[in-house]
Chains A and B, each alone.
Chain A
Amino acid sequence: MANMSLEKVNMPVQEPNKRNKNFQEVALGYTEDMAMEEAQRCLHCKHKPCVNGCPVNVQIPDFIKLVSEGKFQEAYEKITETNNLPAICGRVCPQESQCEKLCVRGIKGEPVGIGRLERFVADWAMKNNKTSEPKNDKLNQKVAILGSGPAGLSCAADLAKMGYSVTIFEAFHAAGGVLMYGIPEFRLPKDLVQKEIENVKKLGVEIKTNMVIGKVMSIDEIMEEGFEAVFIGAGAGLPRFMGIPGENLNGVYSANEFLTRINLMKAYKFPEYDTPVKVGKNVAVVGGGNVAMDAARSAKRLGAKSVFIVYRRSENEMPARIEELHHAKEEGIIFKLLTNPTKIIGTCDGWVKGMECISMELGEADSSGRRRPVEKEGSEHIIDVETVVIAIGQSPNPLISSTTPDLEVQKWGGIVTDEETGATSKPGVYAGGDIVTGAATVILAMGAGKKAAKAIDEYLQSAK
């Protein structure tokens, strides 16, 4: 008999006023009992609507059934049939707009906590040192993956499972891409990311760090080294600025720089680690997405007294996940909505001392369907801050496309691909993730990596 509770089994979290002073994980995860109880809320619908919402096609009712029976190892194997990074997806996927959105239990009450269960299973497997056994029919064909973020890792893992000899080229010193430099420790612990990457390596994937493709080698040179196909998953690595006066003052960061210093370089442990970050008493983060929330919550943890999210539209239009918004509010982040920066003001020696903003109101809907913010004349005001973090989005990094002349690129920098296969204009070269779509989610990038893996396999087999 199903557990007919209208609500998900509660997941323990760190107290807001404690957690906003440390970098440990906010959500603490289910115990075995909690997981089995939550798993019993699944109705095992025959038509499996939830699976349709999953970009990597996790067989959700099947794995949940195994959890409800206490068969955690089997549940893990079921998930990893299609998902190569479950501990990560269980934490950072926007389940509310994917699998859980389509859950029948969600019609009346809360949907099944699919994300929480996935996380539980992955953590259980990690804790008990279980991995999925790799199949090892070796094919004698080499595939190169550029970038070790979610798109690259998922593409690499799938190809390795098929038996290809896969090498990932990563520009940074550590693998993981945005999972390492972007998403903070308190949402996605880095040792867990590394463990998931270790699992991908166990499949036979080789990862070469410090390889800035486009500089150290071109795609053509990679292919000359015997790689028969290439997947580009280099991400959206180019920060956008606002183009307002004062953006180059000391104390103004792109969210990329701010988060990379903190996450990848571990500036939150300065001076134990050598890389510093500057966080003033008052910090303004400009933007309304998940990256803005991450930056704001990080600033708070680094001791800022007041942290403002400055966003030009209203809360309804915010692209951040509701859960992230909610966590940010709980932790004391102050939301200055319908507010747009016009100028950053500096001291005489060039440090930020304030940000001039103008109030906005919502007008007609724009091309994105969201109501367009319009300036309210004469409403300029100054927020006193010493640090400004600009989190208004990233563009695809042009390092690879600019050195690959036969690669077709959109005006805004995204690589042009076939939507179904990820094939680019260059034969044997595929692309997926943020470098194609612009900044999106981890799971969409993973889905694109998977699709491309399948297409690369078909390409290489038909070329034989």
Chain B
Amino acid sequence: MFKIVKKEILNPLVKLMEIEAPYVARKAEPGQFIILRTDEMGERIPLTIADYDRSKGTITIIFQEVGKTTQVLGAMNEGDSILDFAGPLGVASHLDGIKKAAVIGGGLGTAIAYPQAKKLHENGAVVHSIVGFRNKDLIVLEKEMKEVSTELFVTTDDGSNGNKGFVTDELKKLLESGNQYDLVIAIGPLVMMKFVSKLTKEYGVKTIVSMNPVMIDGTGMCGGCRVTVGGKTKFACVDGPDFDGHLVDFDEAIRRQSMYKREEEKVSKEHKCKLGGALDG
């Protein structure tokens, strides 16, 4: 069992938890992920490691309540325990030797982009961070990102924070004004990563994206997380989750992401009904 030592509500949809998992914390690096299961009937879901504290032996996860498992997780509190928590899985991001980088986070992807920006910052790199949200109420980790970025740009789709636009608009401006990046890291919805990669390809800037497909074991055993990269099939769990954004077949990834949509909606809806029933009763 893995104890929740801290819970924070970042916005109405997004929660942060610090989980006691000393073995995982000892080895965790930016770019890696964990797999958790909340209870005996639950699914195994992958979540990217948002932060880690080796001395406290904790792993931070940040998640949005999009399906049943994340809803169940979100309803848990400090002091509760998660049944299963395995990691750190996947290959850590290669950030050594990068002098100047643009780190892009889309929505919840910001939580995953944060440890990368932090590591780059610790390595002494110039970090331009661009994070985008649908509206200003959904903005998360602005303060944290600011601390580890040379410059931070926050965009909103509806302009409610005073900076209307997409992350790609901001990135384009930076590239246009002559910024030369060794690396662009894009983390967020598949569509966003697709368009960032398309843009950086035009400018010939190396880009890595973090894939988060459906998977079960996270150790290379099921092959459910297949991603086509440069025409070859890769397993996101052991070959990734970072891949060259210019080579990823995003359209296939978007299609595969939707494979269990109907089933996910079914269990999520039934879960909500049950909760609703309990509240009414």
Contacts and interface: CB of A to CB of B under 8 A. Distances in A.
A345 to B, nearest CB: 15
A239 B226 CA distance: 11
The bracket for how many chain A residues form the interface is 35 or more
Interface string B201-244: 00000000000000011111111101010000100001000000
A18 interface: no
A271 B68 CA distance: 11
A209 B84 contact: yes
B32 to A, nearest CB: 8
Nearest to B67: A274
Contacts of B252: 248, 350
B39 to A, nearest CB: 9
Given A272-B41, A274-B267, A399 B220 contact: yes
A266 to B, nearest CB: 8
A398 B255 CA distance: 29
Given A256-B223, A274-B43, A248 B216 contact: no
A329 B259 CA distance: 31
B266 interface: yes
Give chain B's interface secondary structure class. Answer: mixed
A412 interface: no
Interface in B167-224: 216-224
A251 B259 CA distance: 8
B69 A237 contact: no
Give chain A's interface secondary structure class. Answer: loop
A300 to B, nearest CB: 20
A109 B226 CA distance: 50
A248 B220 contact: no
A271 B266 CA distance: 8
B88 A173 contact: no
A278 B86 contact: no
Nearest to A258: B222
B94 interface: no
A215 B27 contact: yes
A271 B41 CA distance: 9
A217 B87 CA distance: 10
Contact of A397 (B219, B256, B263): B219
Given A250-B256, A350-B255, A212 B87 contact: yes
Interface in A267-281: 270-276, 278
B79 interface: no
Interface string A88-100: 0000000000000
A82 B111 CA distance: 53
A278 B259 contact: yes
A257 B87 contact: no
B259 A238 contact: no
A174 to B, nearest CB: 9
Given A172-B217, A270-B263, A212 B43 contact: no
Quick one: which of B85, B219, B220, B260 has the most chain A CB within 10 A?
B219
B217 A248 contact: no
A237 B219 contact: yes
Contact of B223 (A241, A250, A251, A350): A241
B9 interface: no
Interface string B260-273: 10011011001000
A211 B256 CA distance: 28
Interface in B56-85: 68-69, 83-85
Quick one: which of A247, A251, A253, A274 has the most chain B CB within 10 A?
A274
Contacts of B68: 274
A237 B270 CA distance: 34
B255 A210 contact: no
Given A210-B86, A250-B259, A265-B43, A216 B221 contact: no
Given A212-B87, A265-B43, A217 B23 contact: yes
| A-B pairs with lowest CB-CB distance, top 6 | A276-B263, A257-B222, A173-B84, A210-B86, A254-B223, A350-B255
Interface of A: 171-173, 181, 209-212, 215-217, 237-239, 241, 247-248, 250-251, 253-254, 256-257, 260-261, 265-266, 270-276, 278, 349-350, 397-399
20 contacts: A173-B84, A173-B86, A215-B87, A215-B88, A216-B27, A238-B220, A239-B223, A247-B226, A248-B228, A254-B222, A254-B224, A256-B221, A256-B223, A257-B224, A260-B216, A260-B222, A272-B41, A350-B256, A397-B220, A398-B220
Given A211-B86, A212-B86, A215-B87, 15 more contacts: A171-B217, A173-B83, A212-B89, A215-B219, A237-B217, A237-B221, A241-B233, A248-B233, A254-B224, A257-B216, A260-B216, A271-B263, A272-B41, A274-B42, A274-B267
